[in-house]
């Protein structure tokens, strides 16, 4: 199904940790959404004209609901965090390519607000999964929900829980290995994982983010630098919203 914009309805919303919200949305998009895809969420305040791209955390096609988990990063997400059950919410989606699904024994790695999209992927990947989650502190949002899908390892920046440091510290401390890596999180983390994957000689799929306007590949705002000339742009740029957000790590410059 192609993407579309619709006025959907908020099913429920809760705060998982300070500033981190989980919202279930009643929408037909639940039927076609894939892990790693995202939706564009529009503000109802006309002074904020651009939609906010937010990754899909879970899809429940039977109930017709999508879940997003997001951090308040400004006035737009502040507004969304105030929505309650029954409120209308303007969304467009599902957008982007989503994660491939390959590998026998994989790493699912999420850092900070890059953690949510890994949940639906964890649910859908039918293989050995080692889930490595990086947090700032002891606010381990979604951690328990990952337990059902694989062994979970935690790293915290302040050392309050699990390995002190980042997700790579957790991988090393626990002596983990994999044949495919999937990751979403801050750019320095993705850069380190790209290097790690190259050294290990394994495929690594990373989900990127960038400021977006159209969300569908028309405006060329959210490009990333690519190793090769891209067939659409005919230069070393790919569109994160349309060609991504998931890319093989070795094909993009971070």
Partner 1 sequence: MISTKVNLAGVELKNPVMTASGTFGSGAEYGEMVNLNHLGAVVTKGVANVPWPGNPTPRIAEVYGGMLNAIGLQNPGFDVFASRDLPFLRQFDTKIIVNVCGKTTEDYIDVVEKLGDQPADMLEINISCPNVKEGGIAFGQDPKAVEMITREVKRHAKQPVIMKLSPNVTDITVMAKAAEAGGADALSLINTLTGMKIDIHKRKFALANRTGGLSGPAVKPVAVRMVYQVSQAVKLPIIGMGGIMTADDAIEFILAGATAVAVGTANFHNPYATEDIVRGIEDYMNLYGIQDINELIGAVAKADTEG
Q: Which range touches partner 1 (CB under 8 A), out of 77-85, 109-117, 158-166, 211-219?
A: 211-219
Give the shortest CB-1-to-partner 1 separation in angstroms.
11
Asked if 93 and 3 count as a contact pair (C-beta separation under 8 A), the reply is yes
Give the shortest CB-68-to-partner 1 separation in angstroms.
19
- Binder to partner 1 among 62, 104, 199, 211 (CB under 8 A)? 211
- Nearest CA to 51 out of 9, 97, 89 is that of 89
Helix (H) or strand (E) holding 198: helix 187-200
By DSSP bridging, strand 180-184 and strand 105-111 are parallel
Q: Does 220 participate in binding partner 1 (rule CB under 8 A)?
A: yes
Nearer to partner 1, 136 or 232 (CB): 232
Give the shortest CB-115-to-partner 1 separation in angstroms.
23
Nearer to partner 1, 70 or 182 (CB): 70
Residue 232 makes CB contacts below 8 A (sequence gap 6+) with: 217, 238, 239, 243
The single-letter DSSP state of residue 64 is T
- Give the footprint of partner 1 on residues 88-127 (CB under 8 A): 92
Nearer to partner 1, 4 or 172 (CB): 4
Nearer to partner 1, 202 or 220 (CB): 220
Give the shortest CB-56-to-partner 1 separation in angstroms.
19
Residue 213 makes CB contacts below 8 A (sequence gap 6+) with: 50, 219, 221, 222
Give the shortest CB-103-to-partner 1 separation in angstroms.
30
Nearer to partner 1, 35 or 51 (CB): 51
Q: Which range touches partner 1 (CB under 8 A), out of 23-31, 79-87, 104-112, 214-222?
A: 214-222
**Distance, CA of 150 to CA of 148 (rounded, Å):** 6
Residue 143 makes CB contacts below 8 A (sequence gap 6+) with: 133, 135, 152, 154
- Nearest CA to 100 out of 199, 189, 54, 34 is that of 34
Report phi then psi at 188, rounded to 5: -60, -35
Asked if 227 and 241 count as a contact pair (C-beta separation under 8 A), the reply is no
**Distance, CA of 97 to CA of 92 (rounded, Å):** 15
Stretch 40-79: interaction string toward partner 1, x if CB under 8 A: --x---xxxxxx----------------------------
Nearer to partner 1, 51 or 150 (CB): 51
**Distance, CA of 156 to CA of 154 (rounded, Å):** 7
Size of the site for partner 1 (CB under 8 A): 34
Give the shortest CB-222-to-partner 1 separation in angstroms.
7
- Report the interface residues with partner 1, using CB under 8 A: 2-5, 42, 46-51, 92, 210-224, 232-237, 242
């Amino acid at each position: 199904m192609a993407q579309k914009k619709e006025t959907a309805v908020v099913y429920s919303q809760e705060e998982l940790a300070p500033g981190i919200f989980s919202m279930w949305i009643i929408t037909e998009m639940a039927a076609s959404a894939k892990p790693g895809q995202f939706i564009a969420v529009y503000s109802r305040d006309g002074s904020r004209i651009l939609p906010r791209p937010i990754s899909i955390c879970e899809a429940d096609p039977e109930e017709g609901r999508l879940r997003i988990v997001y951090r308040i990063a400004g006035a737009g997400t502040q507004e969304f965090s105030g929505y309650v059950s029954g409120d209308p919410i303007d969304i467009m989606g599902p957008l982007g390519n989503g994660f491939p699904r390959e590998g026998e024994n994989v790493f699912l790695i999420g850092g900070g607000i890059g953690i949510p999209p890994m949940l639906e992927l964890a649910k859908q990947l039918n293989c050995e999964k080692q889930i490595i989650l990086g947090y700032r502190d002891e606010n381990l949002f979604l951690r328990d929900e990952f337990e059902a899908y694989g062994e979970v390892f935690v790293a915290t920046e302040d050392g309050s829980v699990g390995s002190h440091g980042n997700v790579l510290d957790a991988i090393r401390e626990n002596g983990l290995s994999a044949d495919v890596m999937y990751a979403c999180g801050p750019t320095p983390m993705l850069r380190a994982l790209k290097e790690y994957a190259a050294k290990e000689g394994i495929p690594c799929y990373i989900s990127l983010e960038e400021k977006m306007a159209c969300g569908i590949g028309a405006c060329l705002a959210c490009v990333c630098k690519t190793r090769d000339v891209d067939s659409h742009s005919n230069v070393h740029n790919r569109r994160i919203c349309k060609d991504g957000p998931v890319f093989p790590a070795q094909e993009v410059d971070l």
